[in-house]
Structure formats: structure tokens, C-alpha cells
Amino acid sequence: MSEFHNIGLIGRTESESAVLSLKRLMAFLEQEGFDVVLEKETATAISNHGARISKREKLGELCDLVIVVGGDGSLLGAARALAKFSVPLLGINRGRLGFLTDITPDEIEDKVGEVLSGKYMAESRFLLDMSVTRNGKPVGHGSALNDVVIHPGEFIRMIEFDLFIDGQFVYTQRSDGLIISTPTGSTAYALSGGGPIMHPKLDAIVLVPLNPHTLSSRPIVVEGSSEFKIIIGKHNIAKPHVTCDGHDQVITQPGDVVRIHKKPHRLTLIHPIDHNFYETCRTKLNWQSGA
């Protein structure tokens, strides 16, 4: 008997192919006798269904497993909303790259069936919490599974900020910004910025400067429990933006303080039993394979 009974579904509703996969997945789950709970927005794309409907956050209380049909961005959004509930996530790829959503649409019945029968791998991933204060008062916050990014916003200008790690001053930097990335995010924006690929099991965070004015400024890898404080420089012409996984944007002012640290709640990510991180890198990043 499966350890999963109530299965939540979140889908990329603007994608016709994702909706088709959602319907196929729903039919399979109902045929196998599982109770399906549709996320409220997802339900708008599926007509004539008898499933329960729930707000996204409520899925964490109602479900034993949530399956996301879409791209990595869809799974990132689900992770930010559901991590505090400890409900595991499984991804079916209807996006482009698919580092996190690793079941292909034509594998739905086979791979999802294996997971529901107990044949799967579970990975624990940590998220980041971000907050911005101005004159000691909170003005914004967010969370990220991939990365927190400080950037100039709509202006193409260098920005200046002071970086502290665990209370120790690191440097004053002038650059196009800074990426603070988890191991999960190391294969995303941080990679394109010249950062290292980190295995998902690492308890580490990488800081990747974006086009730093000082060419000797390089990515720094620190332990995952580190706490970061970034003070926005007083002389910036642009107002630096802070984004979490490309969302939860906060526009800062000179003197604002950005704080980032590991979130207390971790995400459980489910993979098929034959999942291999290095094979995923090889496939998605077009690494050379042996003869």
C-alpha cells in the first residue's frame, strides 16, 4: 500500500502541453485510486473534474505528496510556498531545462507509478530567507530555493555595496550585482555568472559577483549556516533591486540593509529511483559522454 494517499497537483496553466499532461496524470491517479487535490489556479484549466480544490498553501496541510507539472520555475514557486509544511515535491517537466522537474511527459504512468509504490529517491534541499530593512524597519522580504540576486534593476549601471559574512567585513564591491546561491541554484543563474556547480547534498552557499569592477573578485563558497549582511552604498545612482528566484522583488535605497540566511524549513524533493545528478548535468549541460 502506498505511503501517499492525497496527491496535490500544481500545473503551468498557460502551457497547453502542461495542461494535457495534467489531465493525463489526473486520469492515471484516479484510476489507481488516489485522492487528487487541485491547486486553485490549476483547476481553472481543467473542466469537468470531480477533484477537490485548494489554495496553494493549503496543499501542504491536505496532501502527502505534491506533483508539479511545468518547468523548473513552476517547481521553484511551489517550493517557496510549501517548504514549511514538509510535503515532498515531485516534478514532471513541461518546461525547457528541467533540472528539478526530471520526469518526462511520456514517462508519467511508469515513473509516477514507481514513486507511488515506494520506489524513489528523496533529497533534502535548503532555501534562503531574505529581508530588507530601512532605518531599522522592515520594508520587504522573500525566500528562494535557487538564489537571491542584487542587481541594478532597470538601469545599466554599476552598484556599490558592503558585504559582511557572519559579522565579518568581506569587501566593498562595485559591480553589476551579486548572486547568493544555494547548491540547487548553482546550475541556474549562478552558473551563467561563472559560479561553480555544487552537488545538491552540499551544505554550502556560493556568492557570485556579476561583472565586478575589480577583476580579482571571484566567487566565494562558504558554509550553509553563514549569515550575510549587505549594506547598499550611499552613492548609488541606480536603486538596486533584490529578487528571490526572480520573484519577491524589493527596490532598495542607499543605506538599506539586506540580510540573507538559511531558511529553517527544508524541502524534500522526490526523484525516480534511477535519478543521477551527474547524468542530469551531462544531459542538460551537453557535457561530453564516453564512447
For residues 38 and 15, give the distance between their C-alpha atoms in angstroms, rounded to a whole number: 16
Domain identity same for 46 and 91: yes
- C-alpha span between 65 and 67 (Å, rounded): 7
Q: What cell was used for 287? A: 557535457
**How much is the pLDDT for 153?**
86
What whole-number distance in Å separates Cα of residue 6 and Cα of residue 220? 42
Per-residue confidence (pLDDT) for residue 119, from 0 to 100: 96
Do 132 and 229 sit in the same domain of this protein? yes
Look at residue 102 in the predicted model and tell me its pLDDT. Answer: 86
What does each of the 291 residues of the chain score in pLDDT, given as a tens digit? Answer: 689 999 999 999 888 899 999 999 999 999 999 999 999 999 998 887 888 999 998 999 999 999 999 999 999 999 999 999 999 999 999 877 778 988 999 999 999 999 999 999 999 999 999 999 999 999 999 999 999 999 998 777 899 999 999 999 999 999 999 999 999 999 999 999 999 999 999 999 999 999 998 888 999 999 999 999 999 999 888 889 999 999 879 999 999 999 999 999 999 999 999 999 999 999 889 898 765
260: closest CA among 169, 185, 165?
A: 165
- Residue 291 placed within a domain: no
72 shares a domain with 36: yes
Quick one: 15 and 36 in the same domain?
Answer: yes
* Three-state DSSP state, 224: coil
Per the annotation, the verdict on 102 as an active-site residue is: no
Q: How far apart are CA 92 and CA 104, in angstroms?
A: 6
List the catalytic residue out of 64, 72, 129, 274.
72
Tell me what pLDDT residue 73 has. 92
Domain shared by 169 and 146, yes or no? yes
* Residue 197 domain boundaries: 127-264
Domain membership of residue 281 (yes or no) is no
- Look at residue 274 and tell me if it is in a domain: no
Whether 272 and 93 have beta carbons less than 8 Å apart is answered as no
Q: Are residues 10 and 96 in the same domain?
A: yes
CA distance 144 to 11: 20
Asked whether residue 175 is domain-assigned, the answer is yes
Provide the domain count of the chain. 2
- pLDDT of 50 reads 83
CATH number reported for the structural domain that contains residue 52 in this entry: 3.40.50.10330
Considering the domain architecture, whether residues 173 and 224 belong to the same structural domain is answered as yes
